Amino acid sequence: HFTGSAVETYMNDSMNGVLFHEAAHQFVSLATNASGWLNEGLASFFEGCQLLPNGTVLMNLPANHRLFPLVKRMEAGWMADVTDGLPPGSTETPDKAPTFRIVLENEYEWGPPWYAPTWGLVYFLYNYQDTSDGRYVYRAAFREFVNKSGGRVGKGAVRNFEEVVLENPSSVTKGMTTAVQLPRTVDEVDEVWKRWLMNLRDEQVGRVEVEYPFHAWAKHAITRGDTADAIEFFEKGLRESPRDPDLLIDFGELLVEEKNRDRAAKLLRRAIQVLEAAEVPDEGRIANLDKTLSKIDPEHETLRTVRDELLASYGSVVQGYLSDGLNLMALDLSWRTGNDFNDPGMFDYFEEATRRSGKTLSIWKLAYNEENLNGWSASADGVFTAVGETLASSFGEYSPEDYQFRFLTLDTVTSGDFSLEAEVQAQHGKVNFGGIVFGQKTGTDFQSVLFLPPGRVSGGIEQGGFVDLVTFFGSDEFKTWTHSPVENPATEERHTRTWNRLRVDVTGRNVDVWCNGEFVTSKQYPNLNVLRGRLGILVGKGDMRFRNVRYLARPDQDRGAEIEREIRMEAFAPAGESRGGSWLGMTPPFPKVSEWIQGERKSWQEVGLAPQLLVLWSINQNDLVPLDGWLTKLKREYGDYGLEILCIAEGWDGDRMEDYLASHPFPGTVGIDEVIAENVGFTHDQYAIKRFNLPRVLLLDVDYTVAWEGDPGFRVGEPWDPDAESYLKAPLDDLLERRKLREVVSWREKWNVTALPAMSDGDLATALPFLQEAQDYDWKIHTDIMEAQRRLADLEGRLQSILRTAEDLAQEGREPALDVLVDWAGLVGVKLDKKTDRALKKHLKGGNTSAWKKALSALKPLPKKIRGGKDPEGVQEAIAKIQEMDGAFPGLLAELLTNHLDDEGALLEVVEGAEALPANWLIQDYLGW
């Protein structure tokens, strides 16, 4: 058992005294008091530590070898009791998972079946988060539970846990609303625990895309006074955005308050460097940071002077190298100095030297020594063998319908960016597919680049090869992000030139795929965790060979990798041109059309900020690979989310198109390509149809850049199957999720039906949730979102400067509206300090506020006098009395009553709605909503 003392020894001796994150110390205090299931759970929990280059341990990373098997068992169901699926004395793992109650009661013999569940229970309690404000719901209560009971087991353990942990969740940050379920009993925890771990599993493999708002969570933690949590969020935020000046400054300022001046000074210096490297440096902000640094670091000015002198000297040397044409020397010195001093300016020299030399200092390592499988995690089934210069694989008999696979993974770990390259020999009829694996979490959860060999015959036509970028989730689910044809040699060479070079580059969250030196595709993943894991090669059923397998591991957060990627991409995409026919990530040219057959279009922008589908096709192609039914279904399913479809047919199809569409209706707009030469259409040429063939489909994001391009994946010569999924589905669904277009459609309906009428009535409480929800969406998608964001920002601005607003209202005699604003401040979550509260009370106790209350009282007897015209004179007298009262609102009320004297219904409506008059005036006149 991994006892507390063992952990202390491990941390103090094995790590040689490195500085640990606060969470590591919290872990030690937990482990010291632990026993039974908790001891085992904490021991497994410690496996998830990650040591950062600055010597800080970031806790709380999932132990995937525990996570994935546990989720699989949970999906299979819950154990009925501690013996369910386990023979007496057995150490085998049952198919099902133990419930929370079974683990807590601890009535079992220790063994492998319990390692993953105890890890899962501890990990859940320590990390169950409310995504609204980032707080850890049970962390503090769990710590108290351990300190009080050490992980009590047996009789009474469940009730003790419910009382100490479940009944004491952390409080939501003021002004925020909770977004998590809070079970009250252990039995209710099971489904919450299961769902949370399943979501965690899905995040790890990229099934769901999650971007963590670490900076916002850190601010919320500071508001709550949870400094340790704030530091943890800041650390994780720096992993994702190491050059975010706002994050660096806020983190540095927090550490100043916490008396951690060393780290604070380092972060604030880095923030200054980032600000100085900006296109327009913020001199005022830089000066303020300099003042702060001078206070916390007495040697700051000296250090800055020395640093500037050193960088100036290094810069002079680098410039000298560049002047003398010694570009590689300049490249080496600028890269080392830029990383050592974290100086963006040195990377300007690095970029210049890289462009001049056309070379890189990055050193690839040969992964296969051409003798044996040393350096690889070789599988026991002997699928892979060393055969001289090639790695041979033989995985059973080839079968076109069998999609099993096997791995060979490298014994290496990369903490930063990396590349992997391999030449593959794969022939149709001998193997289904093979290629590169990266981000591998388990045997069924990984990212991959697969080569599908040319030569398959479909509908009597031989097809070329394809390269697919695929994510596998479990044993029976995957997403093919791109399905890209590769340029094929002439027909007679296809079965002799069989080596194809695959390469994958991982730079930050970006993955670039290449084949035979040509760009294939790119994808940006939601977070770095998805891309971290084992890497290697993969084969399907049959025989296949690999050679020249090599990899490149870069230092963590190496700015040079980003620059090299930018230059590499530019080489394949000069301004205004495609990357070898690919428009991925760029705004493509709008098609040139000789004739519009159905509808008419002039630009991408004219449809607004909506997803668009460009389909390049021909009549002959559609007879072989039918698209009309598929596109019609797409429009029906995705039209509500704004999807626009633009179909451009070959130029020589014009004469037949109207008749063809009558029997093969296409949705959206249909045009005929402009012919520029025999068998060449202008648009089809721009989109490299000679390379990619027809049909070619491109999905444009709402910002008019190509989010996906490729072949839809239907078989030649076969009728369209309505139940068959195309390769477009995953990226299209991904776009809808990333841009939240489904939610936007629902929000816009509620905005128009509920929120706008409520605001017209001065009912902010009803409208506020829709104003707040709009903050989650991209304002560029729709003017309604932009307007909602503007309104809330305007209101928050007025509330933040409420004293000035109060003066403005007082000058106009509208203090009753200030009373409404104070109520709204509570709704919105703007906290008014005591000084502000006292100043506002002076206005709220004035004569105009009292007069308004008297005016409302004067209305109480009016409904009886109004109905049936019983007492018109009494109504007139009441209006006259109200008219004489002080302030703007009694006069406004009297005017409204006078204007509706001839309409009994309207007059009663004014009386009944009079109390909301200040709120109505605020929204309609003052805020201009």
Which long-range contacts (C-beta less than 8 Å, at least 24 apart) are formed by 226-233? Answer: 226/135, 227/254, 227/258, 228/22, 228/23, 228/26, 229/134, 229/135, 229/136, 229/139, 230/254, 231/21, 231/22, 231/255, 231/258, 232/21, 232/22, 232/23, 232/58, 232/59, 232/60, 233/134
pTM of this prediction exceeds 0.95: no
- Kindly state the DSSP code that residue 538 receives in the 8-state scheme: E
* pLDDT score recorded for residue 533: 87
**Does 160 score more than 80 pLDDT?**
yes
For the chain, how are helix, strand and coil distributed in percent, rounded to 5?
A: 50, 15, 35
What element of type H or E holds 636?
A: helix 628-638
* pLDDT score recorded for residue 153: 63
The stretch 228-244 carries a mean pLDDT of 89
pLDDT tier, 46 (very low <50, low <70, confident <90, very high otherwise): low
* pLDDT score recorded for residue 428: 87
The answer to whether 802 touches 840, Cβ cutoff 8 Å, is: yes
Tell me if residue 554 falls in helix, strand or coil: coil
Query: 161: Cβ–Cβ under 8 A, 6 or more apart, which residues?
Result: 104, 145, 152, 186
- Greatest alpha-carbon pair distance for the chain in Å reads 111
Tokens of 263: 């780290």
Question: What is the per-residue burial (b if ≥16 Cβ within 10 Å, else e) of 538-564?
Answer: bbbbbbbbbbbbebbbbeebbbbbbbb
pLDDT in tens, 20-31: 444 444 555 555
**Does 464 score more than 80 pLDDT?**
no
pLDDT tier, 835 (very low <50, low <70, confident <90, very high otherwise): confident
**Does 1 score more than 50 pLDDT?**
no
Alpha-helical regions (H) of 206-260: 214-224, 227-240, 245-257
**Does 17 score more than 50 pLDDT?**
no
Gap between the Cα atoms of 502 and 450, Å rounded: 9
List the one residue out of 669, 521, 657, 674 whose CA is nearest residue 594: 674
Q: Are strands 644-649 and 612-617 parallel, antiparallel or unpaired?
A: parallel
Gap between the Cα atoms of 850 and 813, Å rounded: 12
Determine whether 389 is exposed, middle or buried from the number of CB atoms within 10 Å of its CB (0-12, 13-18, 19+). exposed
What is the distance, to the nearest Å, from the Cα of residue 721 to the centroid of all Cα atoms in its chain? Answer: 33
* pLDDT score recorded for residue 569: 85
**Does 14 score more than 80 pLDDT?**
no
Gap between the Cα atoms of 446 and 467, Å rounded: 16
Q: Is the dihedral of CA 200, 202, 204, 210 positive or negative?
A: negative
Determine whether 643 is exposed, middle or buried from the number of CB atoms within 10 Å of its CB (0-12, 13-18, 19+). buried
The stretch 320-333 carries a mean pLDDT of 95
* Amino acid, single-letter form, for residue 42: L
Gap between the Cα atoms of 360 and 566, Å rounded: 13
**Does 424 score more than 60 pLDDT?**
yes
List the one residue out of 692, 432, 478 whose CA is nearest residue 584: 692
* Amino acid, single-letter form, for residue 310: L
**Most confident among 282-291, 611-620, 839-848 (mean pLDDT):** 611-620
Query: 824: Cβ–Cβ under 8 A, 6 or more apart, which residues?
Result: 764, 795, 799
Tokens of 386: 């060393």
Mean pLDDT score across all residues of the chain: 86
Residue indicated by tokens 């994935």: 68
* pLDDT score recorded for residue 53: 45
- Pseudo-torsion of CA 844, 850, 851, 852, nearest 10°? 70
- Kindly state the DSSP code that residue 10 receives in the 8-state scheme: I
**Does 355 score more than 50 pLDDT?**
yes
pLDDT tier, 362 (very low <50, low <70, confident <90, very high otherwise): confident
Please report the DSSP string for 363-390 in residue order. Answer: --EES--SS--TTEE--TT--EEEETTE
**From the CB of residue 808, how many other CB atoms can be counted at a distance below 10 Å?**
14
The answer to whether 514 touches 482, Cβ cutoff 8 Å, is: no
Gap between the Cα atoms of 342 and 53, Å rounded: 14
19: left (phi over 0), alpha (psi -120 to 50) or beta: beta
Instruction: Tell me which of 277 and 151 has the higher pLDDT.
Output: 277
The answer to whether 693 touches 626, Cβ cutoff 8 Å, is: no
Gap between the Cα atoms of 890 and 624, Å rounded: 77
* pLDDT score recorded for residue 9: 38
**Does 7 score more than 50 pLDDT?**
no
List the one residue out of 726, 447, 696 whose CA is nearest residue 584: 696
CA angle 336, 337, 341 (to 5 degrees): 120
**From the CB of residue 885, how many other CB atoms can be counted at a distance below 10 Å?**
20
Length of the chain: 929
In degrees and rounded to multiples of 5, residue 366 shows phi and psi of -70, 120
Gap between the Cα atoms of 148 and 676, Å rounded: 82
The stretch 424-428 carries a mean pLDDT of 92
Question: What's the Cα-to-Cα distance from 101 to each of 76, 118, 180, 514, 666, rounded to whole Å?
Answer: 18, 12, 21, 51, 58
pLDDT in tens, 735-766: 998 888 888 888 989 999 999 999 888 888 99
* pLDDT score recorded for residue 572: 73
Instruction: Tell me which of 208 and 448 has the higher pLDDT.
Output: 448
The answer to whether 898 touches 740, Cβ cutoff 8 Å, is: no
pLDDT tier, 302 (very low <50, low <70, confident <90, very high otherwise): confident
Determine whether 253 is exposed, middle or buried from the number of CB atoms within 10 Å of its CB (0-12, 13-18, 19+). middle
Please report the DSSP string for 641-653 in residue order. Answer: GT-EEEEEE-GGG
Q: Are strands 50-51 and 57-58 parallel, antiparallel or unpaired?
A: antiparallel
Instruction: Tell me which of 482 and 576 has the higher pLDDT.
Output: 482
Tokens of 633: 């279904």
Tokens of 326: 């010694």
The answer to whether 81 touches 193, Cβ cutoff 8 Å, is: no
**From the CB of residue 388, how many other CB atoms can be counted at a distance below 10 Å?**
9
The answer to whether 31 touches 39, Cβ cutoff 8 Å, is: yes
* pLDDT score recorded for residue 457: 55
Gap between the Cα atoms of 819 and 927, Å rounded: 15
The stretch 526-550 carries a mean pLDDT of 91
Query: In the chain, count of helices (H) and strands (E)?
Result: 37, 27
Tell me if residue 589 falls in helix, strand or coil: coil
Question: What's the Cα-to-Cα distance from 138 to each of 59, 196, 790, rounded to whole Å?
Answer: 16, 14, 36
The stretch 98-125 carries a mean pLDDT of 89
The stretch 625-645 carries a mean pLDDT of 94
Bond before 117 cis per omega within 30 degrees? no
Gap between the Cα atoms of 587 and 700, Å rounded: 8
Gap between the Cα atoms of 571 and 564, Å rounded: 11
CA atoms within 13 A on the CB side of 349: 29
* pLDDT score recorded for residue 51: 52
* pLDDT score recorded for residue 665: 96
Instruction: Tell me which of 192 and 848 has the higher pLDDT.
Output: 192
CA angle 534, 539, 542 (to 5 degrees): 160
- Kindly state the DSSP code that residue 476 receives in the 8-state scheme: T
The stretch 400-428 carries a mean pLDDT of 88
